[in-house]
Structure 1
Amino acid sequence: ELLNLPYRSDRDLSEDDFAAMAKALAAKGPQGVILTGIHEGPYIGNFIYDQGKMSWVRAKKVGGDRSGTGDVFTAIVSASVVRGESLEQAVQKASDFICRVMAYTEELDLPHNAGLAFEEYLTTLR
Structure 2
Amino acid sequence: MVNEQVQALTIAGNDSDGSAGMPADLHAFFISNVYGMGLLTSAVSGNSYGIDAAHIVPLDFIKQQFKTLAADFKIRAAKTGMLANVEVMDTVAQCYQEVDFGPLVVDPVISTKHGAMLMEQAAYEEFKAKIIPLATVITPNFFEAQKLTESTLETTDDIVAGAAKLQKMGAKNVVIKGQHHTDDRETVDDYILLENGDHFWLKEPYIKTDRVNGTGDTFSAVIAAEIAKGNTVEAAIRTAKKVVHVSIANSIQVGHKFGPINHWAGQQA
TM-score, normalised via structure 1 length: 0.77
Return closer, same or farther for 1:112/1:79 CA change in 2, 3 Å cut-off: farther
Which entry has the higher C-alpha Rg, 1 or 2? 2
Which residue, 186, 190, 196 being the options, matches 1:42? 186
* C-alpha RMSD over aligned residues: 2.4
Percent same amino acid among aligned pairs? 22
How far the C-alpha of 1:15 sits from its partner, in A, is 2.0
Gaps of 5+ in 1: none
Instruction: Determine the structure 2 residue equivalent to 1:99.
Output: 245
Per the alignment, do residues 88 and 112 of structure 1 end up closer, same or farther by CA in structure 2, a change over 3 Å counting?
farther
Alignment partner of 2:258 out of 83, 106, 113 = 113
Structure 1 residue matching 2:160: 3-state secondary structure: helix
For 1:58 and 1:112, the matched residues in 2 are separated by 27
Which of residues 78, 82, 87 is equivalent to 2:228?
82
Task: Choose the corresponding residue for 1:2, options 129, 140, 148.
Answer: 148
In structure 1, C-alpha distance between the alignment counterparts of 2:167 and 2:246, rounded to whole Å = 30
Aligned to 1:62: 207
Q: Distance in 2 between matches of 1:102 and 1:43?
A: 13
> Over residues 76-98 of structure 1, what are the superposed CA-to-partner deviations in whole Å (9 max), with x where a residue is unaligned?
11211232323332222112112
Distance 1:122 1:99 in 2: 8
Contact 1:31 1:50 in 2 (8 A): yes
1:109: Cα distance to partner? 4.8
Distance, in Å, in 2 between the alignment partners of 1:112 and 1:101 is 18
Deviation at 1:112, TM superposition (A): 5.0
Question: CA 1:89/1:38 → structure 2, altered by over 3 Å: closer, same or farther?
Answer: farther
CA distance in 1, matches of 2:209, 2:260: 11
CA contact 2:215–2:261 (8 Å) conserved in 1: yes
